[in-house]
Structure 1
Amino acid sequence: MKRTLLLITGLLILLATEILRVYFIMPFPGSQRSNTIDIAYFIGQYIWWIRIAGLILFVPPMLHVFRHSRWWKKTLLGIFVLLYAGIFYMFNFKFLADKMFYQPQNKLLATVGENKIDSNKLIIGVAINGQAKAYPIELIGYHHQVQDSIAGQPLMITYCTVCRTGRVYSPFVNGKFQHFRLVGMDHFNAMFEDADTKSWWRQVSGVAIAGPLKGTALKEIPSEQMRLGAWIRKYPNTLVMQPDPVFANRYKGLEGFDAGTINSSLEKRDSGSWQFKSWIVGIQINGKAKAYDWNELTRQRVINDTFQGTAIVLVLENDNASYHVWNRQVNDKQLLFTWDASTYSLKDSTGSVWNMNGESIDGVLKGNKLSVVQSYQEFWHSWQSFHPGTEMYKK
């Protein structure tokens, strides 16, 4: 009886360890709605010790069964051993995030003249010291992160398709360059693990949520999301990331993601407003957050608002995909903007005309440029989860 209890206990420890280690940090049913990150991190960090404990309990009674028990007990136990072997293989070599999504083997960047990416594709764009690069979302969405540099500054360009969140960070932690790997997700948001301390970092905020560096934040680098054509209009000398031929078939899995029509239930858009996977534009100023319904922006095309003392304007281009959030205060004047569909331009309360690069091209303010307010297009569930006190714009 004692041997049987040890056998069952050891087997349950071995099975539970392999399953829960992955279950808590991957999008299995029910796994992403509870606060289990500390348990997941503990299992991940001490998994070999837990395995050894399970094997110490399991192996001696297992050997006794194979040596002294009847054939049917040996057969039954053999089935359970094979079950464990199968679970061990699947949960360590198939279901782990970094065994499903890989970094580019060939990081290819092309000039506008050499570019093969459709100009209608959505990109995350970064510009530093006059140099610009564009990263197509349907490429970086598969990789989850791409390490690159602009103007000599190392960058970590990240994207989580389940939250529809694009963020760019400096990969330096306490002054030291770090390599990161995709480790899983928490509350549907991707997590990365740094190579040195094995801390886990949340993609949407760049904050370490488990490990020795818990509470530390990566420095965010300003970025914009728009269609590639709009980015090229703004930065004609930009470089554009190209598909890595090694992952051509993997990229196909994200076809339709840009438009929200992808088949995946985790990544497909809810067309209604303020639903779980509805699109919103989110901003954060002075530690406070506000969300703007994408459907409302589509209807109005221009939204003038004031948040945390900052006068802002949200503008949606005619392509219904490229959007901008600008500070609408210029030379101590808070401007009110309207959309002139006949000239495809913005007009402000002084009568000045502005283009989609945020530049005044006619009128008394000609030559002025609006400053960009950092903003993000993402799923409502993501913004609400990670900005629990967020305001909601209502007309």
Structure 2
Amino acid sequence: MNATARLAAAGALSFVLGACATTPGEPADRDEDRTSKAEVDDAGTATGGEKPPSALDDPTNPDFPEPLIDLDDLLSGGPPPDGIPSIDYPLFQPVSEVNWLEDDEPVLSLTINGKTKAYPIRIMTWHEIVNDRLAGVPVAVTYCPLCNSGVAFERTIAGETTTFKVSGKLYADNLVMYDRLTESLWPQLTGRASVGALTGTQLESIPVGAVGWRQFREEHPDARVLSRSTGHDREYVTNPYVGYDDPDSEPLFALPTGRDARLPLKARVVGVGEGKNAVAVSRDLLADRGVQHVALGQERVVLWHAPGQVSALDTQQIPDGAEIGSVAAFLADTPGRALNFERADDGTFRDAQTGSVWNLFGRATSGPLAGERLTAVEHLDTFWFAWAAFQPETRLVANP
């Protein structure tokens, strides 16, 4: 079966299973930071109790502002709206009770105001959006398998909290979300409403990154983990996109911006910045060097790579995927001090100025700066085609 056929079959399977509502028996709870039913219900009610026209129903409605993307490039990925069901009432388990993840499996790690949760990719692959709260902040945690991109947003628009759903549409092979407040359309990789009543509105994004399960649990033993008790029956260990991350394979659809031939379309990159300040660093180069410093305007950013994570888009069983390692991005400076880093043989990082040792999560574990934390920087750990499509002016740092 070729990649297109596999993806079509996966989309059809998602739609069929979307009607199922069985919950695997697994101890879990929604803890104090839960999304309430009232919050989800209210998220679909616009101010004044009236909804504007829906971009889901008619993206060409003349009452909408001029769209930010060409509507001809807004394509159906297969499932209809909500055919891939978001998780609106997420349940969580303590790290200590999770025995169903393998050490190198990828999870999205999100920290807000000192509180942390993990969202396993084996679950995110089948749902793509989790409407949640963390440290009191309403968030949408998102993952697009076709771009291998995890992004988190505050789900507050002009002071109103809403929830986000999967539209079934793709733009540049990227997940297009819709908000329940107005049913405007939002490409995940911009976080900007691009079609509909809210066109031009920008969501506030929050740094989030994929790491291996062992890496996560050792750093955050008191955190909570998204449970498999989702209300849906899925094979949560199975990858429905087998072989999709082959660097020489094609995306599902032709790209609206054309091909950027500087790298293979599905070469993995780590992207930071935007517009003329955008920089993409090849994951191959980063894996070789362990550390890459880049300039973003007046800021210095350091990118790290450490072994300990497998690909979720390789083999049929996610834990069997090829090793790709984990990456992270931080401001390279602490208050009053510019730092330069190198990776040690044990997968930790050391700064040349003080000799302090830092872990993948930007925490100094020993040395003069022990206990200090670097400031996380928003980054995209994604495929080259996706980064180049949304950041066409990007610089590229890669092996010759």
Q: TM-score, normalised by structure 2?
A: 0.68
User: Which of 227, 252, 258 pairs up with 2:238?
Assistant: 252
Contact 2:339–2:352 under 8 Å retained in 1: yes
User: Which of 349, 352, 365 pairs up with 2:355?
Assistant: 352
Amino acid in the other structure paired with 2:337: K
1:313 matched to which residue of 2? 302
State the Cα deviation string for residues 238-280 of structure 1 (Å, max 9, x = none): 11112237332376244768x9469x9648xxxx982111110
Q: Select between 282-291 and 136-145 the one with higher mean Cα deviation.
A: 282-291
User: Which of 277, 287, 290 pairs up with 1:288?
Assistant: 277
Q: Select between 180-189 and 330-339 the one with higher mean Cα deviation.
A: 330-339
**SS at the partner of 1:372?**
coil
1:389 matched to which residue of 2? 393
1:278 matched to which residue of 2? 267
For 2:237 and 2:87, locate their aligned partners in 1 and report how far apart those are by CA, in whole Å. Answer: 11
Moved over 6 A (4+): none
Does residue 162 in structure 1 map to residue 146 in structure 2? yes
**SS at the partner of 1:215?**
coil
Residues 304-343 of structure 1 mapped to structure 2, 5 A cutoff: 304-319=293-308, 320-341=324-345, 343=346
The total of aligned residue pairs comes to 308
1:121 matched to which residue of 2? 105
Taking structure 1 as reference, are residues 304 and 221 closer, same or farther at Cα in structure 2, changes over 3 Å only?
closer
Contact 2:131–2:140 under 8 Å retained in 1: yes
State the Cα deviation string for residues 58-81 of structure 1 (Å, max 9, x = none): xxxxxxxxxxxxxxxxxxxxxxxx
1:132 matched to which residue of 2? 116
Taking structure 1 as reference, are residues 363 and 224 closer, same or farther at Cα in structure 2, changes over 3 Å only?
same
Does residue 110 in structure 1 map to residue 96 in structure 2? no
Shift of residue 196, structure 1, vs aligned partner: 3.2
Shift of residue 367, structure 1, vs aligned partner: 3.8
Taking structure 1 as reference, are residues 108 and 146 closer, same or farther at Cα in structure 2, changes over 3 Å only?
same
Residues 54-133 of structure 1 mapped to structure 2, 5 A cutoff: 95-98=78-81, 100-104=83-87, 107-115=90-98, 116-133=100-117
Shift of residue 218, structure 1, vs aligned partner: 1.5
Shift of residue 344, structure 1, vs aligned partner: 4.0
Taking structure 1 as reference, are residues 240 and 265 closer, same or farther at Cα in structure 2, changes over 3 Å only?
farther
For 1:221 and 1:98, locate their aligned partners in 2 and report how far apart those are by CA, in whole Å. Answer: 25
Q: Tell me how large the CA RMSD over aligned residues is.
A: 3.4
Whose relative contact order is higher, 1 or 2, with alpha carbons under 8 Å and at least 6 apart?
A: 2
For 1:266 and 1:207, locate their aligned partners in 2 and report how far apart those are by CA, in whole Å. Answer: 22
State the Cα deviation string for residues 5-62 of structure 1 (Å, max 9, x = none): xxxxxxxxxxxxxxxxxx9xx9xxxxxxxxxxxxx95973589xxxxxxxxxxxxxxx
2:131 matched to which residue of 1? 147
User: Which of 358, 379, 382 pairs up with 1:378?
Assistant: 382
Contact 2:140–2:163 under 8 Å retained in 1: no
Answer 1 or 2: which has greater helix percent. 1
Shift of residue 104, structure 1, vs aligned partner: 4.0
Identity of aligned residues (%): 22
Contact 1:286–1:308 under 8 Å retained in 2: no
Shift of residue 353, structure 1, vs aligned partner: 2.8
Taking structure 1 as reference, are residues 254 and 106 closer, same or farther at Cα in structure 2, changes over 3 Å only?
farther
Shift of residue 173, structure 1, vs aligned partner: 1.5
Residues 114-263 of structure 1 mapped to structure 2, 5 A cutoff: 114-115=97-98, 116-183=100-167, 184-243=169-228, 244=230, 246-249=232-235, 252-254=238-240, 260=245
Gap runs ≥5 in structure 1: 1-22, 27-39, 48-90
Taking structure 1 as reference, are residues 285 and 372 closer, same or farther at Cα in structure 2, changes over 3 Å only?
farther
For 1:288 and 1:179, locate their aligned partners in 2 and report how far apart those are by CA, in whole Å. Answer: 31
Query: In terms of Rg, which structure is larger?
Result: 1
For 1:250 and 1:239, locate their aligned partners in 2 and report how far apart those are by CA, in whole Å. Answer: 18
**SS at the partner of 2:58?**
helix
Contact 1:138–1:255 under 8 Å retained in 2: no
**SS at the partner of 1:141?**
helix
Residues 29-48 of structure 1 mapped to structure 2, 5 A cutoff: 44=58
Contact 1:230–1:322 under 8 Å retained in 2: no
**SS at the partner of 1:298?**
helix
Shift of residue 202, structure 1, vs aligned partner: 1.3
Amino acid in the other structure paired with 1:193: Y
**SS at the partner of 1:127?**
strand
For 1:300 and 1:42, locate their aligned partners in 2 and report how far apart those are by CA, in whole Å. Answer: 45
Gap runs ≥5 in structure 2: 1-7, 12-53, 62-74, 253-260, 309-323
Contact 2:206–2:378 under 8 Å retained in 1: no
Q: TM-score, normalised by structure 1?
A: 0.69
For 1:161 and 1:172, locate their aligned partners in 2 and report how far apart those are by CA, in whole Å. Answer: 24
